[in-house]
Chain A
Amino acid sequence: MWIDALKLLFSLNKPVYLVLANAIEVAGFAIIIALVIGIPLGVLAGFHRFPLQRVVLFLLHLWLFVPMLGLGIFFFYVNQSNFISPTGYILWSALLIIPYFSSLIADVFYTVDPGAKTDAVALGANRWQLYNAFVKEKSVELWGAISVGVARIFAEVGAFFLVLGYMFNLGFPSKPVFVLEGPPANLAVALMLFVIGGVVYLAIHIIQFSQEQ
């Protein structure tokens, strides 16, 4: 089966690459939007102390437990017309995952040593230099949070679209989860996607490791 997966990977099989291209295009855009908005929100929620911070963090954590499928279907009923386009698909995916990223990143910054902030401020850091210093300081934890978020957007957020696709026969662009559960599903395709994902994560960790050295 692994050989089949590798053959698929290097076969230049057009439908397979189309699935991948769709997955990367749609999920990729959603991830980029979610990162651009979710990271600053997470930093703001976690870095500085403010009244009701624990409540904000609680709500963000609560989001981690919300079944994406139920939430997605709820959003679909709220605004059906915006869903039936790739743009809507991307935006709603991003919307679902923004609090997820924010939550993971807020946790990283909530645990910053207060003494470290004092030192950076005493050294003359302005607000942006302060954030930048701690993004560097917490880069390992941030990569971890982002990796988990990216994995979830690929694995879970697509699930409700799959269900919607079955329910309403909408024919959305594919995501990996579609491939695994839809009609063209087979283990070789799943393994091929695992190989690609593994290579991407390995590359991230090599970059991370070399930075640490």
Chain B
Amino acid sequence: MANLIEIKDIHHQVNPKFSIDLDQLFFQDGPIYALTGESGAGKSMLMKILALIEPLSHGTITVFDQPANSKKEKLALRRRLGYLPQEPYLFKGTVAENIAMGLEFRGQSEDEITPRLTRLLSDFSLKEYADISIERIPASVRQLTAIVRTLAPHPEILMLDEPMLHIDHIQYMHLVDYLKNLNSEHGVTIILSTKSKDVVQRLANISINMRYGKIIRIRTGEHQIKSGDSAGLRGL
């Protein structure tokens, strides 16, 4: 399996009392990864680093075997990724307009956007909300809109930070199935951060447990992986 994302010698000072410290970590093509740990463990910050949102104070990151140093490189790589922050922001406008944003940023035409939009609205039962302003929709639909917006541009790696927050049980189950299908049928590698054991059990092939900005354990299924093997952890 090829390495999709590889980070080395990361020391990222988040604030004077907290830093993310990783010697080496890589994410390979195929599995669904879950970053787990308590609040403040550094999951969200690691997700931001992986999504090329947070500039590193020290260390290197390569995505699809390409360096992500200049702004141009980062932008090109970012357009192949999908990242959902923990508290997503929806822009003024309708649900459909929000979902189309990533496609518009990639320069897609109306002819390309419309069928994709129609398909996604249908897949996630959002048709009835398509033309409604985001100020007038329930919290669960807001979260779902943000998730669908992240999925819309067909990302090769999907990173979701606490995606199941605010959504109801039916949407939860549907999203689990959708993500499983996306991974198995379409080969999209998924990295998600979560505090929910249920999400890990239902979705993750590999779980990476964090504490105080460091990785303390990696598990695949029921087995704990030691440092340096296929999950990609070295230097523990």
Contacts and interface: CB of A to CB of B under 8 A. Distances in A.
A16 to B, nearest CB: 42
Interface stretch (B14-22, B30-38, B87-95, B200-208): B87-95
B101 A118 contact: no
Interface in B93-130: 101-102, 104-106
A120 B53 CA distance: 10
B89 A113 contact: yes
Interface residues of A, number: 16
Contact of B149 (A121, A123, A133): A123
Interface residues of B, number: 25
Interface stretch (A58-66, A124-132, A154-162): A124-132
Interface string A136-161: 11000000000000000000000000
A123 B150 CA distance: 7
> For chain B, what secondary structure do more than half of its interface residues adopt (helix, strand, loop), or is it mixed?
mixed
A124 B88 contact: no
Interface stretch (B78-86, B186-194, B211-219): B78-86
B163 interface: no
A122 B83 contact: yes
Contacts of B81: 122
B153 interface: yes
B51 interface: yes
A116 B84 CA distance: 12
A119 interface: yes
B85 A125 contact: no
Nearest to A123: B102
B75 interface: yes
B75 A124 contact: yes
Interface of A: 113, 115-116, 118-126, 129, 133, 136-137
